[in-house]
Amino acid sequence: MENRAGSVALPSDLINVTALLDAYFDIEPDLSDPGQRVAFGTSGHRGSSLAASFNEAHILAITQAIVDYRTGQKISGPLFMGKDTHALSEPAQNTALEVLAANKVTVRIDARGAFTPTPAVSHAILVHNAAHPDEADGIVITPSHNPPGDGGFKYNPPHGGPAESEATGWIAARANALLAEGLRGVKRIPAALAQRADCISGYDFLQHYVEDLPSVLDLDSVRESGLHIGADPMGGASVDYWGAIGERHNLNLTVVNPAVDPQWAFMTLDWDGKIRMDCSSPAAMASLIAQAGRFDISTGNDADADRHGIVTPDAGLMNPNHFLAVAIDYLFRNRPSWRADAAIGKTLVSSSIIDRVAAGLGRTLLEVPVGFKWFVPGLLSGEVAFGGEESAGASFLRRDGSVWTTDKDGILLALLAAEITAVTEKSPSQHYADLTERFGSPVYARIDAVASREQKAALGRLAASDITATTLGGESITARLTEAPGNGASVGGLKVTTENAWFAARPSGTEDVYKIYAESFRGEAHLKKVQDEAKALVDGVIADAGNTK
């Protein structure tokens, strides 16, 4: 089969938007199929109307469950709601409003009727809660970078970040119970009445977010440098924000592609031939990479703008781990008002060069399981100044050391790349080369291995004592982790480390595979050896749960 990764989508690659929207209203989920029930992953409930996993019934049930959760938690402030540019996001918002208005929940939606990035919702929640006793929370309707046929629905509690497992577990269970009883427990009014309800009103997410950016970034230096920024919204919710940022702060900024298209016909195909708005993927970012020479720094965001992609003229698209290391090193040297004991947060599958950068800065490293929710308490308190994930998601504190967002902010990190370039007169990729001179040059990769549902469950239940191997890639094993060292939380899998390498294995939440993340500071050949040994080790310890395919 022809590998078309990085090539522009053809008509045959595009979704049928009419069929997708019809299926949203017409298909009823079959609750005997686990794939058609409500299930919250690390970023909310996701699915497709065509697969009976993201339909009107799901959104009615989830929204009522959120209302019931708010009541139980005594959350009485406004609920801030934003949607991205996926075709299913607008009908899902309309459905949610029917339930919220019927329950007389005070809701704030975009005053322009436009799209809202995830970080703008987090920002709005936190700004409200800093000034009012009645706590606000939020809903973000997005499947993030997923293909155009998908939909997503996230809940952010009053801390402004992704909901904890206790909350999402309760909401999912309640939603599935409501589905099972034929939605009899769901309050709902017609969409036309909901739109006019007194409890639904507009909020200028864009203005509040854009006006506040100087509190977290040195935009004066960016403006004075004349740096030419190319910002690609990739057809996502940041589309209006980038133009407003350039205009409001008088930056030399070009919005590379302002088009919004629910089919994403302008996209280049991802590694597997699918349309996916993954701003960390060289294939998905091929169009922007091809224009790198036009700009001093180029950036991309996924559909809800919680992820960032950084393109430099000298190196092209940066590996997300590389930019996280550069961002951390720069910020902790250029934010004098941050607490002297503020920690650096990373997920346990992020690059170990971050560990070495943290040690070089004399800072505490907080290593947590996968999921941005683990950084929320520290960002709120100022005890964690930066939290970053290997999948190009991060946020950090305002310049005075107070909280900015507690959800990932791709716009913020993209503008930070411009600040770094303007202040230091060196690109982020040049800074990464400097870091490798000091700390070594790691190679990093992720592979998938086939596993049954039972085997994935066995991997999630592993104890460190189940691992009897003493070496990995020819080096002595220094740690066997099934709990994150930063907070003691279960990693839902396994991480094994040596002096110069590590691997982590985690079951996929949506596919019959487990993921192996691995890194080596001793080159590609050593990384391959680590990967091979990691797969053999994991297959061995989960073999009793069934035969791997």
Note the pLDDT tens digit of each residue in 114-167: 999 999 999 999 999 999 999 999 999 999 999 999 999 999 999 999 999 999
In a domain, residue 139? The reply is yes
Note the pLDDT tens digit of each residue in 455-502: 999 999 988 888 999 999 999 999 999 999 999 999 999 999 999 999
Domain boundary pick from 439, 457, 490: 439
**CATH classification of the domain holding 407:** 3.40.120.10
The answer to whether the CB of 518 falls within 8 A of the CB of 443 is: no
Active site residues per annotation: 144
**CATH classification of the domain holding 535:** 3.30.310.50
Mean pLDDT of 97-125: 98
The answer to whether the CB of 298 falls within 8 A of the CB of 232 is: yes
Is 435 in the same domain as 469?
Answer: no
In a domain, residue 262? The reply is no
Distance CA 155, CA 105 (A): 15
Sequence-distant (≥ 6) Cβ neighbours of residue 192 within 8 angstroms: none
- pLDDT at site 543: 81
In a domain, residue 234? The reply is yes
In a domain, residue 426? The reply is yes
- pLDDT at site 549: 45
* Residue 431 CB burial class (10 angstroms; 0-12, 13-18, ≥19): buried
Beta bridge partners of 341: none
In a domain, residue 376? The reply is yes
Domain boundary pick from 439, 472, 497: 439
- pLDDT at site 541: 87
Q: pTM of this prediction?
A: 0.96
Q: Quote the number of domains for the chain.
A: 3
3-class SS letters over 51-115:
HCCCCHHHHHHHHHHHHHHHHHHCCCCCEEEEECCCCCHHHHHHHHHHHHHHCCCCEEEECCCCC
What are the tokens at 384? 């964690």
Is 316 in the same domain as 196?
Answer: no
Residue 13 scores a pLDDT above 70: yes
In a domain, residue 281? The reply is no
Is 179 in the same domain as 297?
Answer: no
Is 233 in the same domain as 376?
Answer: yes
The answer to whether the CB of 344 falls within 8 A of the CB of 385 is: yes
The residue to which tokens 């595979």 are assigned:
513
Mean pLDDT of 444-450: 90
Distance CA 419, CA 415 (A): 6
- pLDDT at site 342: 98
Question: E strands within 147-198?
Answer: 150-156
Number of residues that this document lists for the chain: 549
Q: What mean pLDDT value characterizes the chain?
A: 96
Higher pLDDT, 510 or 253: 253
Distance CA 172, CA 265 (A): 34
- pLDDT at site 510: 64
Distance CA 109, CA 141 (A): 12
In a domain, residue 268? The reply is no
Is 430 in the same domain as 483?
Answer: no
Is 170 in the same domain as 247?
Answer: no
Domain boundary pick from 382, 414, 439: 439
DSSP 342-382: -EEEEETTS-THHHHHHHHHT--EEEE-SSGGGGHHHHHHT
Note the pLDDT tens digit of each residue in 219-262: 999 999 999 999 999 999 999 999 999 999 999 999 999 999 99
Note the pLDDT tens digit of each residue in 513-524: 899 999 999 999
Note the pLDDT tens digit of each residue in 184-215: 999 999 999 999 999 999 999 999 999 999 99
- pLDDT at site 41: 81
Q: Which residue, 16, 15, 62, is CA-closest to 38?
A: 62
Is 416 in the same domain as 510?
Answer: no
Print the domain residue range for 335.
224-256+291-439
Is 62 in the same domain as 182?
Answer: yes
- pLDDT at site 512: 80
Is 94 in the same domain as 232?
Answer: no
In a domain, residue 266? The reply is no
